[in-house]
Structure 1
Amino acid sequence: MNLLASLSIASGSLNVIEAQYAVTANNVANASTAGYVKETIATLSSVAGGVGAGVRLGATQLSINQALQSSLYRQNAASSSYTTMSNSLAALSAVQGSTSADSGSTTSLTDQLGNLQSALISLTSTPSQAASQSAVLNKATAFVDTIHTLASTYATQRQEAADNVVSTVSSVNSDLTQIGALSQQIMKFKGLGQNTADLENQRLGVMADLSTNLNVSFASDSNGDMMVQTADGTRLPTRPDQVGQENSSQTLPSSTWPLVTSSATLSASMAYSKQDSKTSVPAITLAGQDITSSLTGGSLGADISLRDTVYPQMQTQLDSFSYTVMNRFSSAGLPLFTTGAGSSSVISGSDLTKPAPDGIVGLSSGLSVSAAYTAKPSLLTTITKSDGTTSSSDTSVISTVLSAGFGSDADQVGGTLAAPTTGLGPDGSFSTGYSGNQGLLALSSSLTSNQGATIAAANAGVTSSSAVLTLLQTKVADVSGVNVNDEMAKTVALQNAYTANAKIISAVQTMFNALLGAIQ
Structure 2
Amino acid sequence: MNLLASLSIASGSLNVIEAQYAVTANNVANASTAGYVKETVATLSSVAGGYGAGVRLGSTQLSINQALQSSLYRQNASASSYTTMNNSLASLSAVQGSTSADSGSTSSLTDQLGNLQSALISLTSTPSQSASQSAVVSKATALTDTIHTLASTYATQRQGAADSVVSSVASVNSDLTQIGALSKQIMKFKGLGQDTADLENQRLGIMSDLSSNLNVSFSSSSNGDMVVRTANGTQLPTRPDQMGLDDSTQQLPSSTWPLTTSSATLSASSYYSPQDSTSSIPGITLAGQDVTSSLTGGSLGANIALRDTVYPQMQAQLDSVSYTIMNRFSSAGLSLFSTGAGGASSIQSSDLTKPTPEGIVGLSSSLAVSARYATTPSLLTTTTNSDGTTNSGDTSVISNVLSVGFGSDASDVSGSLAAPTNGLGPNGSISTGYNGGQGLIALSTALTSNQGATIAAASSGVTSSSAVLTLLQTKVADVSGVNVNDEMAKTVALQNAYTANAKIISTVQTMFNALLNAV
Q: Which residue of 1 aligns with 2:428?
A: 428
Deviation, structure 1 residue 47: 0.5
Q: Distance in 2 between matches of 1:384 and 1:231?
A: 67
Q: Which residue of 2 aligns with 1:345?
A: 346
Render the CA deviation track for 1:330-384: whole Å, top value 9, x for unaligned: 0000000002268333223x53210112110000000010001111111100111
Deviation, structure 1 residue 246: 1.1
Deviation, structure 1 residue 32: 1.2
Render the CA deviation track for 1:188-215: whole Å, top value 9, x for unaligned: 0000000000000000100000000000
Render the CA deviation track for 1:397-418: whole Å, top value 9, x for unaligned: 0000000000000000000000
Q: Which residue of 2 aligns with 1:471?
A: 471
Q: Which residue of 1 aligns with 2:487?
A: 487
User: What percentage of residue pairs aligned between the two structures are identical?
Assistant: 84
Q: Which moved more, 1:409-418 or 1:384-393?
A: 384-393
Q: Distance in 1 between matches of 2:517 and 2:125?
A: 128
SS of the residue corresponding to residue 476 of structure 1 reads: helix
Q: Which residue of 2 aligns with 1:316?
A: 316
Q: Distance in 1 between matches of 2:479 and 2:420?
A: 56
Between the two proteins, the alignment pairs up a number of residues equal to: 518
Q: Distance in 2 between matches of 1:53 and 1:471?
A: 45
Q: Which residue of 2 aligns with 1:59?
A: 59
Letter in 1 for 2:401: V
Q: Which residue of 2 aligns with 1:264?
A: 264
Letter in 1 for 2:208: A
Deviation, structure 1 residue 136: 0.2
Letter in 1 for 2:94: A
Q: Distance in 1 between matches of 2:203 and 2:103?
A: 49
Q: Distance in 1 between matches of 2:439 and 2:340?
A: 24
Tell me, yes or no, if the aligned pair for 1:352 and 1:358 is still in contact at 8 Å.
Answer: no
Q: Distance in 1 between matches of 2:67 and 2:235?
A: 20
Deviation, structure 1 residue 5: 0.8
Render the CA deviation track for 1:73-111: whole Å, top value 9, x for unaligned: 000000000000000000000000000000000000000
Q: Distance in 2 between matches of 1:63 and 1:480?
A: 5
Q: Distance in 2 between matches of 1:228 and 1:236?
A: 6
Render the CA deviation track for 1:302-331: whole Å, top value 9, x for unaligned: 000000000000000000000000000000
Letter in 2 for 1:347: Q
Q: Which moved more, 1:364-373 or 1:335-344?
A: 335-344
Q: Which residue of 1 aligns with 2:155?
A: 155
Q: Distance in 2 between matches of 1:357 and 1:29?
A: 64
Q: How is 1:277-426 mapped onto 2 (pairs within 5 angstroms)?
A: 277-340=277-340, 343-348=344-349, 350-426=350-426
Deviation, structure 1 residue 388: 2.5
Tell me, yes or no, if the aligned pair for 2:344 and 2:370 is still in contact at 8 Å.
Answer: yes
Q: How is 1:94-109 mapped onto 2 (pairs within 5 angstroms)?
A: 94-109=94-109
Q: Distance in 1 between matches of 2:107 and 2:373?
A: 24
Q: Which residue of 2 aligns with 1:504?
A: 504
Render the CA deviation track for 1:432-456: whole Å, top value 9, x for unaligned: 0000000000000000000000000
Q: Which residue of 1 aligns with 2:70?
A: 70
Q: Which residue of 1 aligns with 2:122?
A: 122
Q: Which residue of 1 aligns with 2:193?
A: 193
Deviation, structure 1 residue 278: 3.8
Letter in 2 for 1:450: N
SS of the residue corresponding to residue 474 of structure 1 reads: helix
Instruction: Show structure 1 runs of 5+ residues with no match.
Output: none
Tell me, yes or no, if the aligned pair for 2:316 and 2:430 is still in contact at 8 Å.
Answer: yes
Letter in 2 for 1:452: G
Letter in 1 for 2:286: L
Q: Which residue of 2 aligns with 1:6?
A: 6
Q: Distance in 1 between matches of 2:405 and 2:382?
A: 18
Q: Distance in 1 between matches of 2:262 and 2:219?
A: 30
Instruction: Show structure 2 runs of 5+ residues with no match.
Output: none
Q: Which residue of 2 aligns with 1:166?
A: 166
The Cα RMSD (Å) is 0.9
Q: TM-score, normalised by structure 1?
A: 0.99
Letter in 2 for 1:481: G
Q: Which residue of 2 aligns with 1:135?
A: 135
Deviation, structure 1 residue 389: 2.0
Q: Distance in 1 between matches of 2:374 and 2:347?
A: 18
Tell me, yes or no, if the aligned pair for 1:272 and 1:283 is still in contact at 8 Å.
Answer: yes
Deviation, structure 1 residue 387: 2.6
Deviation, structure 1 residue 274: 1.1
Q: TM-score, normalised by structure 2?
A: 0.99
Deviation, structure 1 residue 2: 1.2
* Displaced runs of 4 or more, over 4 A: none
Deviation, structure 1 residue 479: 1.0
Tell me, yes or no, if the aligned pair for 2:10 and 2:505 is still in contact at 8 Å.
Answer: yes
Q: Distance in 1 between matches of 2:277 and 2:507?
A: 81
Tell me, yes or no, if the aligned pair for 2:344 and 2:372 is still in contact at 8 Å.
Answer: no
Q: Which residue of 2 aligns with 1:273?
A: 273
Cα distance change of structure 1 residues 275 and 70 upon mapping to structure 2, 3 Å threshold: same
Q: Distance in 1 between matches of 2:82 and 2:7?
A: 62
Q: Distance in 1 between matches of 2:152 and 2:307?
A: 14
Q: Distance in 1 between matches of 2:222 and 2:340?
A: 66
